[in-house]
Structure 1
């Protein structure tokens, strides 16, 4: 993989979770979350991005979202379950992405709000106006994802260097 080729990051919020009497970290997906995970997986596959690496929070709802969504992919990327994604701030998520090996061109991060939306906003120095408008009007609901692109190494990823290329959220 050449550093001259733009890198892509897809920031994917877990699907709708249920509220059983368990810790927040152990909350499973709701029925709607399972359905939305499959639809999001199809939409992610439709982007045509050949993901090299998926970084997934260790929370139950993110692991379940990923397990369902990845079934729609033409090939399964290497997956790393990373506890630092849970409750991470945008700055903490950037620090994590700075550790990604440079042979990974396209990375999918499956996480939580407000971190995922905040990271999208912090990284996006520019944007496709249609994608920006859709994200502004919808926010970042469960199972939404944003596609960003940037030039350089993962260590050079910092606020404002990326372009928001696309945004998708399930219908209400």
Structure 2
């Protein structure tokens, strides 16, 4: 693929987690989270973005979110589980995305707040339609996702270079 073709990143926050007596990293999804993860998967498929690569935190709730969401996909993209996503800052997430091979066009990053929301805010120098207003109004609840687009190589990804092109959050 040419680096001149726009690239898209789906920034996907894990679905609603439960609070059992386990470490934070091992928290599973709540029943509501399991339902919302599947709905988010359908919404991702409806977006028409042909995901080439999924990069998912190793935390239990993110792995469960992706497992349920990807069941809605007609074809499962390559999935990489990355421990550096857990508790990562937006800058650390950008550094991780900078490592993406240039033959990959569309990536979904499944992670946690505040990093995922912060990354959506930092990358988006502008927004299409009302996506930015909807994201500001709703925040970034569990199972929400934002889609940003940018031109250039993955190594050129930096704050302000992307356009927020879509945003979705489950109904409360």
Q: Which band: TM-score by shorter chain?
A: over 0.9
Q: CA deviation at 1:4?
A: 1.3
Structure 2: where are the runs of 5+ without partners? none
Q: Which residue of 1 aligns with 2:168?
A: 168
Residue pairs, 1:1-172, within 5 angstroms: 1-172=1-172
How many residues align? The count is 172
**TM, length-normalised to structure 1:** 0.99
Q: 1: CA distance between counterparts of 2:94 and 2:42? A: 27
**TM, length-normalised to structure 2:** 0.99
> Aligned with 2:29: secondary structure?
coil
**Superposition RMSD on alpha carbons, in Å?**
0.5
Q: Is 155-164 or 129-138 further displaced after alignment? A: 129-138
Q: 2: CA distance between counterparts of 1:149 and 1:60? A: 28
Q: 2: CA distance between counterparts of 1:50 and 1:151? A: 17
Q: 1: CA distance between counterparts of 2:129 and 2:103? A: 30
